[in-house]
Structure 1
């Protein structure tokens, strides 16, 4: 794969809609009539076009995240569930992070993007870190648990990581070989047990290569994955991966795919860390490619839900945590095949509902706050009609690209 020095990061104005770069047949090149103005375009700039492929990918990845959490209480009862759990954890977050990196390519620390980073990442992190701490005081019977914004709790680690990764994007733009450097950092992080829990830095560093890989990808790379030959080749690869996952249950620990511990914390010699970092990166990359190859590129019934994956991600954790005091897993039948199937279906339905527009409208004030009062007038906002803002078009395009990672 040619990274072209991450040339897609500098001066690029492409949006996520250009996945299929092949030219259209001559008969299909007739100019299309201009779109009629609708409610979203009258009196303002046209609404950003969203690529169905990436919305589908984000929705399916977030469903796998919720299903994985639903399987956690069932791991000790079934080798099959544990194998599926290991298989899913090998690629679902890497795939989600790669897509997040892809949509962060144009982040350049301009006022508009810093403002979006604060309102779309920092504010939800603070709110949900406090909310999860208060909630787990009840669900985990830990009334003395302290609120700490430096020690991410449960799902909030991803927001802390996304904040750090995006802030460092301009650095990766300058490097000649960003992915090898990111891999070296991840390998070194796995050696150290003294990194600490601040902002879950161990996991931030070990997952860093996936984000940097997303920064280096271009639309044509995703176009290659969507070829029929790649989709067919993914079938035996996934079959072999499932067989290896089943074999590995009594031999290898799935905690390597969590990327939150050093080698010594996992009870193995330190040199295992760099070796397993490379091994898991290769494994996760192949499986993530298989997953992305199977994602449909057309609009489906769940395509619109891809715009609300952050809602589903952050909100489903309350349901997963509430299952403990509610004793949902107490019945004996829940620890058999029927219970695993039930947990899978319930998790998929719950996270789907949490991505729907009604839920997004209810929680938009905290997930996507405007916070006009917190910023200086004219700083980090799009130019209005009649204002002399030379960067107006560039900022509008940046807002469209960034909105895809939400």
Structure 2
């Protein structure tokens, strides 16, 4: 996700509301409609029908989408504050990896069965087309710069994540089939980092460079997330995140943010080709450590925001309109915006806005775009 940073990545989140018996595709950029660890479902917390969602994943999705919105609200302010740049780098190092890992985890049962492909189309592909057009139209009407002709092959801003999720989901059976899926995914990510000729179509650089996180999620089991609930991970989580912030403070004036967006090759960033593989593995290690620390701090009980985890698709796709409107409307232009109180105000506004966008009323109001009912478009009775 980047504002051109393009991510927001995204994040995942981080797409549509899946049916109760089939956890795919995801409700949000994060991928899952969370459920019992042994068998993910899409039922709301406390819902009937004997299904119970795991609040841990809903909590993680909500907290991650708040971080996505905060990071996006900070981007126009980065030049005026080194602490903010350090915080931005820290958050960007793990919020999309966290979404993508959870997406992979809840994709473990994807087998290209007809009901799953149907949900992938209605929950990921169709929302992508709708929001790709909506953002392009919005940019033409309100943006300060000319916008290219609408193209389904060139994801605009945070829409890249829906394209990536669609591709990753379709390739899930391949990763379940090969003997060494994670090394293969890392090899593809490394090749992407040194291949400037890949081009912008479907944001394939991001599809490749973020791929290892998705494949890692496919390989995880409930016991791996349970490990993070133990005493010591929780004790060291905050010091790990603070250490990450300290490293980011040192890196802030030295490292281009674009390394964390994974949308360009090393050569595109003006670096020698060999820095691509080096940064691929370095950022992977840093992101996994920070993601583990973040997840260790996520509450495992039901909280006031647990239900909001089911609506993070809305938060992810809709908050971008507010961020861009504030930017294009000149809200970041005054001296107050670049002061500490101004930064806090923008942060609070972004957190509140994305929280409201995750609520059930917003989800219902935008169901036609976020979770379209397209049974009429499919013939026959789907069989797995």
Instruction: Give TM-score, length-normalised by structure 1.
Output: 0.83
Name the counterpart of 1:243: 246
1:221 matched to 2:205? The reply is no
Name the counterpart of 1:304: 307
1:95 matched to 2:98? The reply is yes
Alignment of 1:3-18 (within 5 A): 17-18=35-36
Q: For this pair of structures, how many residues does the alignment match?
A: 348
CA distance in 1, matches of 2:52, 2:142: 41
- How far the C-alpha of 1:138 sits from its partner, in A, is 2.7
CA distance in 2, matches of 1:365, 1:59: 22
Are 2:123 and 2:370, in contact at CA under 8 Å, matched by a contact in 1?
A: yes
- How far the C-alpha of 1:53 sits from its partner, in A, is 0.2
Name the counterpart of 2:199: 196
- How far the C-alpha of 1:16 sits from its partner, in A, is 5.3
CA distance in 2, matches of 1:210, 1:266: 22
Instruction: Give TM-score, length-normalised by structure 2.
Output: 0.87
Cα separation, partners in 2 of 1:369 and 1:48, compared to 1, 3 Å: farther
1:66 matched to 2:106? The reply is no
CA distance in 2, matches of 1:192, 1:95: 26
Alignment of 1:234-313 (within 5 A): 234-313=237-316
Alignment of 1:29-48 (within 5 A): 46=49, 48=51
Are 2:76 and 2:327, in contact at CA under 8 Å, matched by a contact in 1?
A: no
Match of 2:56 among 53, 56, 61: 53
CA distance in 2, matches of 1:282, 1:63: 23
- How far the C-alpha of 1:140 sits from its partner, in A, is 2.3
Are 1:203 and 1:260, in contact at CA under 8 Å, matched by a contact in 2?
A: yes
Structure 1, residues 102-155: CA drift from partner, whole Å, max 9, x if none? Answer: 111101000000000000000000000000001111332345531000000011
Name the counterpart of 1:158: 161
Choose 1 or 2 for highest CA Rg: 1
- How far the C-alpha of 1:251 sits from its partner, in A, is 1.6
Name the counterpart of 1:385: none
CA distance in 1, matches of 2:310, 2:35: 14
Are 2:136 and 2:147, in contact at CA under 8 Å, matched by a contact in 1?
A: no
- How far the C-alpha of 1:237 sits from its partner, in A, is 1.5
More displaced 10-residue stretch of structure 1: 114-123 or 132-141: 132-141
CA distance in 1, matches of 2:173, 2:291: 25
CA distance in 2, matches of 1:333, 1:271: 42
CA distance in 1, matches of 2:366, 2:50: 22
Structure 1, residues 310-331: CA drift from partner, whole Å, max 9, x if none? Answer: 1100000000110123221122
Cα separation, partners in 2 of 1:220 and 1:16, compared to 1, 3 Å: farther
Structure 1, residues 208-237: CA drift from partner, whole Å, max 9, x if none? Answer: 000001100000000001111111112221
More displaced 10-residue stretch of structure 1: 263-272 or 245-254: 245-254
Are 1:16 and 1:219, in contact at CA under 8 Å, matched by a contact in 2?
A: no
Cα separation, partners in 2 of 1:277 and 1:325, compared to 1, 3 Å: same
Q: In structure 1, list runs of 5 or more residues that go unmatched.
A: 1-12, 22-38, 381-390, 392-406
- How far the C-alpha of 1:68 sits from its partner, in A, is 0.3
Cα separation, partners in 2 of 1:180 and 1:89, compared to 1, 3 Å: same
Name the counterpart of 2:211: 208
Cα separation, partners in 2 of 1:224 and 1:347, compared to 1, 3 Å: same
Match of 1:185 among 180, 183, 188: 188
Name the counterpart of 2:350: 347
CA distance in 2, matches of 1:241, 1:121: 33
Are 1:19 and 1:223, in contact at CA under 8 Å, matched by a contact in 2?
A: no
3-state DSSP class of the match of 2:372? coil
CA distance in 1, matches of 2:357, 2:153: 27
CA distance in 2, matches of 1:204, 1:370: 27
CA distance in 1, matches of 2:148, 2:363: 29
- How far the C-alpha of 1:254 sits from its partner, in A, is 2.2
Are 1:20 and 1:223, in contact at CA under 8 Å, matched by a contact in 2?
A: no
1:331 matched to 2:334? The reply is yes
Cα separation, partners in 2 of 1:245 and 1:19, compared to 1, 3 Å: same
Are 1:20 and 1:220, in contact at CA under 8 Å, matched by a contact in 2?
A: no
3-state DSSP class of the match of 1:298? coil
Q: In structure 2, list runs of 5 or more residues that go unmatched.
A: 1-21, 24-32, 40-45
1:173 matched to 2:159? The reply is no
Cα separation, partners in 2 of 1:304 and 1:119, compared to 1, 3 Å: same
More displaced 10-residue stretch of structure 1: 196-205 or 229-238: 229-238
3-state DSSP class of the match of 2:327? coil
CA distance in 1, matches of 2:308, 2:50: 17
